[in-house]
């Protein structure tokens, strides 16, 4: 990607519910714009393209990175962000999702929602007259995947042809990673216990994206096979928010899927380790790895700000 020679894309007024809805060019151009905005941010050069714009942020699930990165991003772009606790809104309980969508559309310029059910976000987008951004659902985490691609490009200088190994639960993070990587030509190897593989419908779509980009997608039960010749190793928690009652069983089922120094001996010598955070140190990854020289997890967290700023500008620009 060349941060100077940017391509024009038109995402104005559009929703972002999953990266599957974006063309490869749109993804790479968002990354190019992220690079430019990051450089300006680091140099304390703040333009205000979103002056007067308001982002409503609905949280049914709490988050450090999502709330702070979106709120700071809007402030740096000249706009403002409004925190809306899902319990206060009674979204889908005291008032229908459709009614809430139409009411909020009267007040704000865009909605970011972090919730459990992806169907609720789809319903919100169907009835809102302002753009809706998926901040996380049970099926997808597209903003995280954009930040992941930005981080990989920064550390490796390219995306196409790289090998990414994801070790753990075939969850929302895995789904969005699969989509993002196969769209831009990165090879993906997922290692998960049987019963925790990624969603079959999403996997089938990703195989279609891979066929178009020339990427490879492999899903099996072997962490060792996944990390062989990997440029990037990615891990996530075994028990996500809302799955606490399953924790004991999951700890048993994921035995042998920990990312540790022994496993990483089989990856490329210059590999990087990634994790969307928060991490359960000693479970899916050892402290030695997450604090080690190959780890880029905090740069990755920081890139949420820059990737989302690019997205916000493209969606909300006049």
The pLDDT assigned to 106 comes to 98
Q: Spot the catalytic one: 143, 181, 206, 276.
A: 276
Is 206 part of the annotated catalytic residue set?
no
**Known catalytic residue: 48?**
no
Per-residue pLDDT of the chain (318 residues; tens, 9 = 90+): 543 344 578 999 999 999 999 999 999 999 999 999 999 999 999 999 999 999 999 999 989 999 999 999 999 999 999 999 877 776 656 788 999 999 999 999 999 999 999 999 999 999 999 999 999 999 999 999 999 999 999 999 999 999 999 999 999 999 999 999 999 999 999 999 999 999 999 999 999 999 999 999 999 999 999 999 999 999 999 998 888 999 999 999 999 999 999 999 999 999 999 999 999 999 999 999 999 999 999 999 999 999 999 999 999 999
CB of 46 within 8 A of CB of 38? no
pLDDT for the residue 289: 98
The angle subtended at Cα 19 by Cα 207 and Cα 55, nearest 5°, is 170
pLDDT of the residue at 297? 98
- The DSSP call for residue 20 is G
CATH class of 19-140+302-316: alpha beta
Distance CA 158, CA 263 (A): 25
Q: What is the pLDDT of residue 5?
A: 42
Q: Would you call 27 exposed, middle or buried from its count of C-beta atoms within 10 A (0-12, 13-18, 19+)?
A: buried
pLDDT of the residue at 87: 78
Distance separating alpha carbons of residues 306 and 300, to the nearest angstrom = 10
Active site annotation includes 236: yes
Catalytic-role residue among 141, 175, 250, 275: 141
Active-site residue, selected from the candidate residues 109, 118, 236, 308: 236
What is the end-to-end Cα distance of the chain in Å, rounded?
26
DSSP labels for 233-250?
EEE--SS-TT-GGGHHHH
Architecture of the domain whose range is 142-297 = 3-Layer(aba) Sandwich (3.40)
* pLDDT value at residue 79: 98
223 neighbors 257 (Cβ within 8 angstroms): yes
Helix count and strand count (H, E) for the chain: 13, 9
Please give the pLDDT value at position 92.
56
C-alpha 20/C-alpha 177 separation (Å) is: 11
pLDDT for the residue numbered 4: 37
Q: Residue 97 and residue 91: Cα distance in Å, rounded?
A: 6
Q: Where in the chain is the domain with CATH 3.40.50.1370?
A: 19-140+302-316, 142-297
Of 15, 60, 65, 114, the active-site residue reads 114
Q: Is 312 helix (H, G, I), strand (E, B) or coil?
A: helix
Contact 98, 127 (CB under 8 A): yes
Please pick, among 138, 304, 306, 308, the residue that the annotation labels catalytic.
304
Query: Which pLDDT score is estimated for 91?
Result: 65
Looking at 65, 138, 144, 175, which residue is catalytic? 144
Q: Tell me the backbone φ, ψ of residue 177, rounded to 5 degrees.
A: -60, -45
Question: How many CB atoms neighbour CB 281 within 10 A?
Answer: 13
DSSP secondary structure letters along 146-208: HHHHHHHHHHHS--TT-EEEEES--SHHHHHHHHHHHHHT-EEEEE--TT-PPPHHHHHHHHH
């Amino acid at each position: 990607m060349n941060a100077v020679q940017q391509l024009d894309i038109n995402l104005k007024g559009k929703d972002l519910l999953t990266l599957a809805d974006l063309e490869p060019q749109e993804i790479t151009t968002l990354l190019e714009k992220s690079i430019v905005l990051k450089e300006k941010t680091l140099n304390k050069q703040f333009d205000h393209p979103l002056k007067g714009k308001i982002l409503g942020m609905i949280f049914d699930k709490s988050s450090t990175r999502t709330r702070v990165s979106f709120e700071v991003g809007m402030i740096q772009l000249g706009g403002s962000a409004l925190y809306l606790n899902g319990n206060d809104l009674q979204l889908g309980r005291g008032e229908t999702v459709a009614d809430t969508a139409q009411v909020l559309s009267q007040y704000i310029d865009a909605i970011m929602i972090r919730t459990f059910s992806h169907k609720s976000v789809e319903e919100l987008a169907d009835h809102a007259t302002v753009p809706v951004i998926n901040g996380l659902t049970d099926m997808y985490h597209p903003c995280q995947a954009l930040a992941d691609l930005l981080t990989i490009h920064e550390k490796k200088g390219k995306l196409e042809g790289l090998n990414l190994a994801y070790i753990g639960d075939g969850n929302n993070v895995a789904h969005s990673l699969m989509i993002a990587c196969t769209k831009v030509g990165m090879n993906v190897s997922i290692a998960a216990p049987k019963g925790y593989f990624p969603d079959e419908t999403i996997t089938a779509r990703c195989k279609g994206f891979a066929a178009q980009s020339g990427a490879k997608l492999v899903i099996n039960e072997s962490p060792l096979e996944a990390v062989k010749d990997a440029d990037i190793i990615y891990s996530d928690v075994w028990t996500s928010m809302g799955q606490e009652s399953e924790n004991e069983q999951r700890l048993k089922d994921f035995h042998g899927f920990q990312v540790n120094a022994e496993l990483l001996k089989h990856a490329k010598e210059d590999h990087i380790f990634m994790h969307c955070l928060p991490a359960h140190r000693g479970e899916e990854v050892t402290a030695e790895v997450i604090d080690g020289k190959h780890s880029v997890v905090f740069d990755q967290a920081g890139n949420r700000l820059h990737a989302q700023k690019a997205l916000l500008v493209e969606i909300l620009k006049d």
